[in-house]
Amino acid sequence: MTSPGRSREELELRGEGGALRLVVPSRYRGVRMAAGAEALLSKAGPIMKGAGMIVDLRGEGWSVSDIISVVEEIISPAEAEVIAWRAEEPETASWMKRAGFAMNSPGERREPCCGVYEEAVRSLMVQESLRSGKKIEHDGDVIVLGNLNDGAEIIAGGSVVVLGRLRGLAHAGLDREDDVVIVAGQYEATQVRIGGKISYIDETCSWWGKPVSMRVVKGSIAVKEIKG
């Protein structure tokens, strides 16, 4: 039996609309990523610089750390920008969507909760920690490859993902709350906002300082500790 994506064995770069599609076979997960990335960047680095990328994850079993390695080994060195993610495996696509990754193709229409069609908005990837006083406002999802420090703010139209420590103010889903999440690698903030909901939190919570995901469930912000 052939697993999905088995026929695509190599890292590939293809054109799609006005963007580039990076096809990443699952065999590049882990230690092979660095070598594959080096070969790809040596050939296509100049083309990728500043380009909008659709990252297409082929095969099974993708984890958060695998995806971070794609960003660290290919996207960041190429100075490219991820505008959408795809995953061949339904399970991977499902958890990535729940974690706030923009799984729509650029320009693809989606129907938000209010019933009005709107264009999918690019994700914003921040490749550094946000210090106190910094404020990011973005219509789409915001992914921070670092910490959100106390006194810093992210106001996002979509989801907010902070891979490091979340101590500042994260406000996800500025005008909607049904399909957005806040994900933190280490949650240490006293207030969180999703859509029109505000939750006040203190360090007595059992999940304080732990990786969590947050979403609105039945009109309240529900928190789930991410384990494993």
Partner 1 sequence: MDTRIIVVTSGKGGVGKTTVTANLSFRLAMEGYSVVAIDADIGLRNLDVVMGLENRIVFNIVDVIEEACKLPQALVRDKRVENLHLLPAAQTRTKEAVTSDQMLKLCNSLRGKYDFVLIDSPAGIESGFRNAAAGADEALVVVTPDVSSVRDADRIIGILESNQKKSIDLVVNRVRSKMIRSGKMLGVSDVSDILAVNIIGIIPEDDNVVTSTNKGEPLTLGSTSAAARAFENVSGRILGREIPLPDPTSFDENGLLTGLKKMFGRKAGRG
Q: Which is nearer to partner 1, 27 or 134 (CB)?
A: 134
Q: Which is nearer to partner 1, 36 or 151 (CB)?
A: 151
* 209 touching partner 1, by CB under 8 A: no
Q: Which is nearer to partner 1, 25 or 168 (CB)?
A: 168
Q: Which is nearer to partner 1, 118 or 137 (CB)?
A: 137
Q: What minimum distance in Å lies between the beta carbon of 134 and partner 1? A: 6
Tell me how many residues contact partner 1 (CB under 8 A): 11
Q: Which is nearer to partner 1, 52 or 151 (CB)?
A: 151
Q: What minimum distance in Å lies between the beta carbon of 98 and partner 1? A: 29
125's tokens: 């990837």
Site for partner 1 in 111-170 (CB under 8 A): 129, 131-134, 147, 149-151, 165, 167
Three-state SS across 135-183?
Answer: EEEECCCEEECCCECCCCEEEECCCEEEEEEECCEEEECCCCCCCCCEE
Q: What minimum distance in Å lies between the beta carbon of 166 and partner 1? A: 12
Q: What minimum distance in Å lies between the beta carbon of 151 and partner 1? A: 5
In single-letter form, the type of residue at position 204 comes to T
**Residues engaged in binding partner 1 (CB under 8 A):** 129, 131-134, 147, 149-151, 165, 167
